[in-house]
Chains A and B, each alone.
Chain A
Amino acid sequence: MRGLIALLGSAKVLGAHHDLLLYEYDGAVDTATPDAVVLPESTADVAALARFCHEHAVPIVPRGAGTGLSGGAIPVEGGVVVSFARMARIVEIDVPNLRAVVQPGVINLHLSTAVAPEGLYFVPDPSSQKACTLGGNVAENSGGPHTLAYGVTTNHVTGIEVVLSDGTVVRLGGKAVEDEGYDLVGAFVGSEGTLGLVTEITVKLTPLPEDKRTLMAAFPTMDEASETVSAIIAAGIVPSAMEMMDQLAIQAVEAAVHAGYPLDAGGILLLEVDGPRDGLDDARERIERICRDHLASEVRVATSALERDRLWAGRKGAFAAMGRLSPDYYVQDGVIPRTRLPDILRLVKDAGVRHRLRVANVFHAGDGNLHPLILFDSRLGPDELERAKAAGLEILTACVEAGGSITGEHGVGMEKNCYMPLQFQPTDLAAMRRVKDAFDPDGLMNPGKIFPTPSRCREFAFASTVR
């Protein structure tokens, strides 16, 4: 502590117990208290901190806004949490090159708001975009509803400045679409803070679509909604977003946000097409027809920006709305091939029944990226969270068996690192480990994340052999 204060000054270091408690959690369910919290104000601060930690073999855990859903910002092995709250400046908006240079603490939505007057935006729009930071987006390779057509964070980052765990500062990529040599920017994005600390990011800015059409379609059951998703793709239409919600989710959202979703629907789809104005109505009509062919009881088209925002407010506020149904929830993030939606959704339901927990579904149907929200009540005892995790594991196992992934956009973190062997063979993990060692040979960057750890994963390894 004293060393850190001597190095950076007391204004940049937090060590009091009541301060540290504010940094022991993120958007997921696990907690751990840091030994200290540092609030750097420059790349030089970060580099000095990294050198200090390297010298004293102290783990470093980077933190954006703490909205992460896999425990990525939790100091599970202790050490220093680095909050980027004070490195939150938009450094440059470069309209001619369609780029912005930002510090990692800039909030996702603030960037899009700042460049909107130029007719531009930053595409990835996670549901937490009002709070989450671009540094966090880079760490987690965040997605959002509109990634179906436009890609996730990695597709929109062309350059980064990184402080390595020994304090070395390196700039990778830049404003051009590619650099010579290995694509280290590509390898870094999505590395969950385990390879280094991002101190500056160069992102692509995209011209705002000229227009959009937003539709909400209500179906008797989730089966019809799922089949509609496949039918739209089969018709050669790739909407910019295709979001699905089940009945339980609709009830929570309506209670909290009043988005105007029909309460009696078994499932709804929120669909959006965007692009040049010409052709949008044609696409909308075709989508509407496909929905009706699949027994949609109602198809509502937003006729104003206000109506569109209201439809989207329900989706973006869905996780928060779960508070209406349950004091706690555990959200999963499995991905499946889109065509397997109906059977996996049934399996999700069964897992909930088996563990006596309610499960709401709010997810990116177009990507096959599920978000089952497993509702539990921690006041009833530790068994509740354990059952929620058990149900989550069953769901993820099914996703992997269907040819999918244990995480589509929330990251592995400390929540799913023990599950990595479900999806990857030891040789696959060994290849990843080589990259980790090249960037962070001493293993100080965000330890206990992504890779299975013998101490914490023993129990799981045992459970999986029994199974």
Chain B
Amino acid sequence: MTRVIPADAAECARVLVEAARDRRTVRISGSGTKAYIGDVTQTDIEVGTSRLGGVLDHEPADLTVTVGAGMRVVDLAAILARAGQFLPLDPPHGNEATIGGMIAANSNGFWRARYGAVRDLLIGTRIALADGTIARAGGRVVKNVAGYDLDKLLVGSFGTLGVIVEATFKVIPLPAASDGLVAGFTRSADAFATADAVVRGASRVEACVVERSEGTAWRLAVQTRGSAATVRRSIEDARRELAARQGEPRDLGDDLGSMRELPARATEGALVRVSLPLAATPAFAETAARLESLAALVADAASGIVRVHLLGDDDDLIRDAEALLLAARVVGGTGRIERRAEHLASRLSTWPTRPNGDFLMRRIKEAFDPAGILEPGRAAFV
């Protein structure tokens, strides 16, 4: 395999058009943190984005920032913080993930219900395409409906349409105050009822997550940021809801960081990730908790994204993983096997079922990459 690290968009486009001409397959790699997603095979070329970095434009008063796709999310956070701002995205692999990888994998954290997901904050991109051209989608202003919103197609495209070389995001001022709490429950119903009350309450928390790990205990973590007055209010409201259900609160440590990084830890067994209608989350979690191979469960109670880590005998955990995906579908949700131990890959594909509209997805893929060189096997939906 040849590894190429293009210095700019033009070089990247050149690499792609030559690969297309020679029918050589291409993998695209940022920090490589999410290489486990998909049913990938060895490619002829790997395109690294590490030289496509740096802040290209940041006018703080416009609340927008344009960066190279190879920049790490943490490095951007540090630069924005100096201007009193932040990009409100908290993807897993937080210390390593690049901007491009976060977009391509639609990688979100717990802040999405409050601030939006990658799709909501991304307002522009430049992409190198397989025909050697460079296309710009969206723009650098916060509102723009000129033409199709191609940015949306790139979020979660896993590199199958082109190489993202540059991205523009909305950013927001850093809140002045922050606080949080975490509480244990013996019954999942209490944890989720509390979470639900917090999510629907007036005080708009930043993260509200229910976790179950070793033992039988459930934990609820709540984080809030804003002005001192709104933070105080959020915490008061959350404490009141906790007290109503005998939850014993303590101060929040790095609990949310640890919950967010479940995908990074799940190197063994299988990690199922589902996206559910919000109200279906508690029952799904109950179902998962009864599974023999359950190792950990993290449910974003504000958005309905649930991850379940399964460990144990191969046959058991494959059966359990399939049961979870089915349970998600039954309630109108969808899911994937986000990660699995290498030896399970042949038995558990990332996307065992096809999403609605897959024929349109395949037509789009074909239009952007007629030679089929980009990320073969990565995304089963095309």
Judging by beta carbons under 8 Å apart, are A427 and B155 in contact? no
Contacts A96-B278, A181-B358; is A187 near B148 (CB within 8 Å)? yes
List A contacts of B174 (CB < 8 A). 236
Judging by beta carbons under 8 Å apart, are A424 and B147 in contact? yes
User: With A and B bound together, what is the CA distance between A184 and B155 in angstroms?
Assistant: 11
List A contacts of B136 (CB < 8 A). 424-425, 428
Judging by beta carbons under 8 Å apart, are A408 and B356 in contact? no
A423 at the interface (CB under 8 A from B): yes
List A contacts of B142 (CB < 8 A). 335, 367-368
Contacts A154-B149, A423-B139; is A176 near B129 (CB within 8 Å)? no
User: With A and B bound together, what is the CA distance between A276 and B335 in angstroms?
Assistant: 34
Judging by beta carbons under 8 Å apart, are A177 and B303 in contact? yes
List B contacts of A238 (CB < 8 A). 63, 172-173
User: With A and B bound together, what is the CA distance between A255 and B148 in angstroms?
Assistant: 39
User: With A and B bound together, what is the CA distance between A336 and B142 in angstroms?
Assistant: 9
A407 at the interface (CB under 8 A from B): yes
B4 at the interface (CB under 8 A from A): no
List A contacts of B336 (CB < 8 A). 180
- Name B108-166 residues within 8 Å CB distance of A: 112, 116-117, 119-120, 127, 129, 133-137, 139-153, 155-157
Judging by beta carbons under 8 Å apart, are A431 and B144 in contact? no
- Name B79-94 residues within 8 Å CB distance of A: 84
B225 to chain A, nearest CB (A): 12
Query: Which B residue's beta carbon lies closest to that of A406?
Result: B146
- 1/0 per residue, CB under 8 A from B, across A89-113: the answer is 0000010111100000000000000
List B contacts of A437 (CB < 8 A). 363, 367
Judging by beta carbons under 8 Å apart, are A435 and B367 in contact? yes
Query: Which A residue's beta carbon lies closest to that of B174?
Result: A236
Judging by beta carbons under 8 Å apart, are A178 and B144 in contact? no
B36 at the interface (CB under 8 A from A): no
List A contacts of B84 (CB < 8 A). 236
User: With A and B bound together, what is the CA distance between A210 and B230 in angstroms?
Assistant: 12
Partner of B141, one of A173, A185, A335: A335
B189 to chain A, nearest CB (A): 15
Partner of A190, one of B112, B148, B157, B334: B148
Partner of A404, one of B139, B233, B304, B351: B139
Judging by beta carbons under 8 Å apart, are B355 and A179 in contact? yes
B78 at the interface (CB under 8 A from A): no
List B contacts of A423 (CB < 8 A). 139, 146-147
- Name A192-213 residues within 8 Å CB distance of B: 207, 209-210
A252 at the interface (CB under 8 A from B): no
Judging by beta carbons under 8 Å apart, are B173 and A237 in contact? yes
A70 to chain B, nearest CB (A): 9
Query: Which B residue's beta carbon lies closest to that of A339?
Result: B61
Among the 9-residue stretches A8-16, A36-44, A278-286, the one with 4 or more Cβ atoms under 8 Å from chain B is A278-286
User: With A and B bound together, what is the CA distance between A432 and B70 in angstroms?
Assistant: 25
Contacts A99-B277, A278-B233, A279-B233; is A432 near B332 (CB within 8 Å)? no
* 23 residue pairs from A and B, CB less than 8 Å apart: A154-B152, A172-B356, A177-B117, A177-B275, A177-B303, A179-B355, A180-B355, A182-B153, A183-B153, A190-B148, A207-B200, A210-B202, A234-B61, A278-B229, A279-B229, A283-B227, A339-B62, A412-B146, A420-B146, A423-B147, A431-B135, A432-B147, A434-B368
